[in-house]
Structures are given as C-alpha cells and as structure tokens.
Chain A
Amino acid sequence: LAKTTQPISMDSYEGQEVNITCSHNNIATNDYITWYQQFPSQGPRFIIQGYKTKVTNEVASLFIPADRKSSTLSLPRVSLSDTAVYYCLVGESNSNYQLIWGAGTKLIIKP
C-alpha cells in the first residue's frame, strides 16, 4: 500500500502563500492524490484531488511533478482560519478502504 510522508508541523503568517509537500515514492499507476483538511473536533473535509500536473479550485492548488513521487498543496493568502491539520492521501486502486491516513501536517497561521 502506498505510504505518504509529510512534515509534522508548519507555521506561517496571514496573507502568505503556504506550500505543504507530501512524499509518496511508491505511488502506483492507478493511484490518485487527495488532500483533506481537519479542524479540531471536526471530521476531515475534502480540499482537492489530482492525478498529475496541476489542479486548481477555489480553495487551493495541487502541483504534481511528472514522476508523481511527491505533491505540493498550495494555499494562497492564508488566514487564521486556515489553521488546521492537512492530510495527504494516496489512493490504492481508487478505493477508499485502501487509503492510509498519516499523521498529517499541523499548519498554524499567525497574525
């Protein structure tokens, strides 16, 4: 099963762009990459998903290099409310019950 590695924590300031990188060296051909956000005492919330190159939505961008061994979640102009834990997941055979949830990256945004 594909495994991911992310920084345990990151700090940034309001208005900055934040990039969180996830390593997934053993990603398989059929795997897709998904990012979730989780606030304290809440369930995770889907942010973005991609397979290769770049994906952008109203919340974030996801950059995936050609070898797909890593991916970077980019949050533009963060605010205090973006303080949360961010999880990078790699899907094995596109099945939710094959997903392995890591510890995530705790992002703290300071004023």
Chain B
Amino acid sequence: ETGVTQTPRHLVMGMTNKKSLKCEQHLGHNAMYWYKQSAKKPLELMFVYSLEERVENNSVPSRFSPECPNSSHLFLHLHTLQPEDSALYLCASSPGTTDTQYFGPGTRLTVL
C-alpha cells in the first residue's frame, strides 16, 4: 500500500462511451500526476497538478480531460477514446514536484 488508490482497477469501454478514472492520495501531498503506460513502452507523463493547479500538459489529446478538485483527488475524464488508448493509467503523488513520487496500482483500460 503506497497511500495512493485508484478506481476502478479495470475498465472496458467502447469508443463512444464516457468514463472517469479516480485517484485519491492519503499522504497529504501537494502534487499529483497522471501517466500512461502502454505495452512495451516507457511511462508517458500526461498531466501534472501542483496545489490543484495544472502545471504541465504533455500535448495530450483533448479526449483526455483531467480534473483536480482538491489536493487529495485527481480525475481523468475519458470520452470518444480510440483502441490505441488502451493502456495502464497510473496516478502518482509527491509532496512537491521535486520529491519522490508514490504511485497507485493503476487502472487497466481497454477500449473496444
């Protein structure tokens, strides 16, 4: 247990569906991250939030929409995804953006 939880752990969705991934951290951290990990590819940073403000967006398609309502919660809203978006989506948190990151277990997403 790292103190970072993600729900759901597995998600199957069609290309026309809308779904959301949820991340919650119980560590009192100020920074939160979304990563994408595709099969046989390195982790790709998608979004970074620091004190609930988005500080980094690595040219992610608009079909992925993050939301950080408070420092403990992070959402990733998904709509009209493509099959190539199938991957493990990881959430992480850290005290600040220069500190060690703590990762959640991930959500395994399959887009049909």
Interface residues of A (CB under 8 A from B): 34, 41-46, 49, 87, 91, 94-97, 99-104
Contact = CB atoms under 8 A, between A and B. Distances in A.
What is the size category of the interface that chain B forms with chain A? 20 to 34
Nearest to B90: A43
Nearest to A93: B98
Contacts, number: 57
10 contacts: A41-B106, A43-B103, A87-B43, A94-B98, A96-B99, A97-B33, A97-B48, A97-B97, A101-B45, A104-B42
A91 B102 CA distance: 16
A103 B42 contact: yes
Given A41-B88, A43-B92, A103-B42, A49 B108 contact: no
B90 to A, nearest CB: 5
A41 B56 CA distance: 25
A44 B43 contact: yes
Interface in B49-101: 55-56, 88, 90-92, 94, 97-101
A2 to B, nearest CB: 14
Contacts of A44: 43, 90, 101, 103
Interface-centre pick from A41, A49, A94, A96 (highest chain B CB count, 10 A) = A96
